[in-house]
Structure formats: C-alpha cells, structure tokens
Structure 1
C-alpha cells in the first residue's frame, strides 16, 4: 500500500464487501487490515490485530467481519467503529489453569461466519483447541447460537467450505452442509440434523490411507467372487450413524463401464493391510480389508535394523477358483489365507522353511543330492 511507510507483510485474505463491491478488505499476516475504496483508490479504514492474522469472514450485512488468529482467538470488527479495539475477542476453547492463567491454544487456521433466517449464526472454524496434551485429534468446531460442538476428524484438516441454500453473500446464507477436505479423506457433515452426522460417502477415499507397497489385478473373475468379498466386508464394518439426507454435492455425469466382465484390484500396504477393490465400474469400491499384522503376537515396533514397516506387503497372489490368498511380507514371512464366510478363531500353524544352505565341497553335483539346511539361529 502506497499510503503506508512500512510493509505490512504477506497478504492472507482478499474479499469485497457483501453489500458494496467497491470496498475491498485486505488482510495481512502481521495482523493489519485495510478496507480499500476501489473508486477513490484510498483506504477507508485501518485495523490492527494484536496477533497474527490467519483468515477473515464477512457478516452478510457487510457491517462487521470476523478474524481468526494464531493464538486461538476470534475477533470481531465493525466497519464504522470509533476505537482501535475489536468489538469482541473470544477464545472458544480456552481453559484456565490452577494459577488462574489462561492456557495457550492452537492456531485457528480458518473461520466462516454465516447466518440463518431464524437469527442464529453459524461460526465454523478449524483448530483452536488447547495445548494441554500432545497429538490432539484434528477437529472442526461448530458454534450455532449458544451451542458449541467439536467434530473430531481422523486426519489433518486441509480446508473446509460451508454449503448454503443462498448463493448471494448479502443474503441469509442458510447453511445446510459442511464439506471438509482432510489429508486422506473427504467428509460432508449434515448441519440440519441434530448431532451433525456425516453423509455416507459414495466414493472411496482411503486408497492411500497407508502407503501402497504392491498391487495385483484380476480380470474376468468368477461371478460370485466379488459378492463374496463384499458380504464379509459389509459384515465386518462398524455400524456408523449416517445422515438420512441425500448426498448434497451434485454435478457431473456418471460414466458407463466399457468392460462386460468383473475386475478386482488387490493392494498391499505398508502397515500390513490388504485391501480388495471392485474395479468393474467407473470408481473403485472397497470390498474387504484384511489386517495381516494381527497374525503376529508381537506389537508393531521399530525394528533394530531400522526397518520401519516390518509388516509391509511385498507380494500378493490370489487364486480366484479356490479363494486361497498368499501374501509375502517385508520380514521374510509368507502367510496363506483361506476364504471363510464367517469369522473364526483358531490356532495358526507356523512352518519354518530354511532357505539358506551351508556350502559343502563334496564335488557331488547330482540333482538327487540333498544339502543339509543351515541350523536355525536362536
């Protein structure tokens, strides 16, 4: 800005006023904000936040806007205010310790401020939890009126957006769903149903939940193979309460599959899991998830030789007719599985096959000669 002597820092926000497109709100990471008049090419108002700025969201009337900051606070500013302080400053998840001091909170990366015709506002933001313990679960917080709900996520939050019935920024938004992009997933939350349940996702998003280490492809599978894996996979899934409403994201046209035969893809992963996918249609649908690490008694720990993934799958072979599955892992182990409709518990026999031989200079090169195996290392 030419009217400022010092550089305010990097721009982190840029948006126009909902009721006056000629007014541009510019936010800088240093905490400075400017309402810029595009017609007169001059600053109408300036604001200075005490903490670093992360995001800004307008109120639909265009008279106020809300900011999120690096210290876990939310500040509200009025366009025509007479003081240099914000209208309000809150720490949604702040706690007070025994000494009476407020515990520090994590950064609020993004905030969205929307309203409904009933008069209740929605303040939705990511982050902002206290630092009372390490490794806290990533979350999205929904403040609706006087009710605060924390939605825990399985992966880190990349971004989110609120789906509203009105497309106009100057109107009551009437939010009905929240789309959250995670590091390994896409979650859509129903804001009209009590408890904010998730919509059942029609697309598979967990292909790389654990890094893929190998895969195999089966074409022209027996007609009953894919339904068999689907039946056992559906039986083993945890019962989760989904929203009864229809999937809110629409658009695009479903493609038609060109192959007239069944296709299956089997992927092996670094954590020892094996996933079976139906590749017959235009999208991959997970059928069943097999955890090979459960076969071993010892828990997964870092090995002495530095191998971080001792259960990583390296080779997979499935016989479609007999439904026998052979899996080879990174720790020089081979596991043979047999398909079963019902989950069973039993002893797994272990067979040690020595494959390293001592070298004997006997001169006998006959194919019938049996070399004695090397003794097992204890």
Structure 2
C-alpha cells in the first residue's frame, strides 16, 4: 500500500502553463560560472544532510534509477527524478519525472508533474522531499524510501526502500566539484552518486503489483548555479547536447561518464571509475575516456527525435559495449521541464581490468533541439 502521507492530500495550486514552465525552468537550468559564492566544503560532504536540496542554489536535481528482478518473473527498470528550480524568494518550482520500463514486453510508461511551494504541495523538511504525488524520505546516511503514485495514472507507481553502506557513496570530480569543460573550468557542479543501493518494495504497472526479488538502484545528486553568480552554460539551449551513463558491473566496479557537446562539434568527456577493490579514479583529462556512439540511430514515432542508442566506453581500464534493453524509452517532458530526452535501461559487456565482464546501467541522451 502507498505510504500514509499519500492519503493526506492537499489542494493543488493552479498549474503554470507549459510555455511559461519552460521559460522559467530552463532559465535556471544553468551550470555555475565564477566563484562569487561561497562553495560547500566538497572534501567533507555531510550525509544525510547533503541528500536534500541546498539553500542558495538555483537549480538542483536528485534522481534514482534501477533495474530490478521481481518475484513475478519480470525485469523492470525505473526512473524517479526530483528537480528544484529557485526563481526568487517567492517562487520555487519542483518538477518530477517518473518512468517504469517493462524490459520483457518492451513497454515504457512515464508520468510527470511540476509543483510550487504553495500550501505544502511541494517542499522539504528535515527528513522528506516531495512534490505532489512523489516523495523521497531520507532514513539514514545512505538510506532512502521513495514513492510515486501519480493520481492521474491509476495502477502505476512504486514504493521502494533503498539502502547501502555509506562507504559506497561515490564522490565525483575534485572532491565533489565536477567540471563540465576543460576549456572553461568555471563551468562546474557539485556532484555525487550512490551505486549499489539494495532495493526492496513494489512497483505497480498496468494495475498489477510486482514485488522486488533482487537488483540494485543508483542515486545521483547534482546542484549548481549559486545565487549571485554569473549565469552561464545554459543546459536547456538548443545548441547544447549531452550524453550520460551510469553502470554497475558484475565484478563490483561502478562507472559514471558523460559528454557535453555543442553544434560546432566540440565534445568534452568526463567520468568516474571505481574498481572492484574500491579505488576511485577521476577521468577528467582529454584522453582519459572515450564515450562514442555507433552510427545506427533510432527515431521516435512520438516526437520525431533521433537517438544513437549503441555506444562504446573506453579507458585504460575498461573497454565496454553498450546497447539498449529496448529502444522505446523516450521521455517527453515538455509539460514539466520543457525537454525531450531518452533515458532507459541498457546492457553492458566487454572487458574491465583485462577480464570479460557484464553489467547493467541507465543511459540518458539529450539531443539538440
């Protein structure tokens, strides 16, 4: 059953129009530039405090993905993403993206919302972060309870408990300061992940409950654009594109990688690799990492966007091939954040440290608009 807090509904504020939502949210979807604002002590993130949204930052997102085996015999993937865009003392927007992929029947269903801090419909307190019908509860240094029960989609939702040891928290970049450009090091965010979250609970799809038997989740948390800094590097720009992936290999290694691209053809690639024995290597130099697509594309019948869904990820320590569990895992978020992107479950194979190994992950692709 859903958590008790979901039964205590409050009236929703009047919705912001889709066009205005895009203008407001995309105007804040920026990376930090400059150092006019006191940065957090990234060599000393504090958990669980840093799992929440941070005062003084204009844009932040925290999301969970996982590929789970159920007692009913289905393999399901999920995404639950929380965003916050601070637009001033009286305006903060809280979009949420939620999706479940049936990896056997190749079905992808998604839902979304965008709420404001009015009447308690969205916000956070000492233990919870919520927006409408979606909630994240922090229960420990690396422990969460998440739920999604969109009232507009009966029989669609999830309720999961996620837990791992705090030593599994993976800090990216230079002690948590994740650079997005070598050409301009002023462009950065604060960024950490939590791979290998043991996952218990249930997912609901097409009116049927599926009980988690095994599988792990991955949590990602990133924030940028301190108030008072120069707004730069607009991620919502039609001239900016990115590719991102998280991978959990069967040998115990964890990998995060991303590309930032512009229409001029410039591509900058960064990543983090944690070996099976726990050694963390930051991949931030120009030749440290290659994250490149194959030529074949898939075109969405719904939006007309085209995506390259098969990739190679190569460094001195690994050589991996990436392919989608199935192709139709696009998320049309025009009614919440104004973007369209592909985010879905992928299978991974290749070599890590010279040994053949398989893995699973989630791939996100934001094309040029």
Could you say which TM-score interval applies, normalised by the shorter chain? under 0.3
The structure with the larger Rg is 1
Larger relative contact order (Cα-Cα within 8 Å, sequence gap ≥ 6): 2
TM-score by length of 2: 0.23
TM-score by length of 1: 0.22
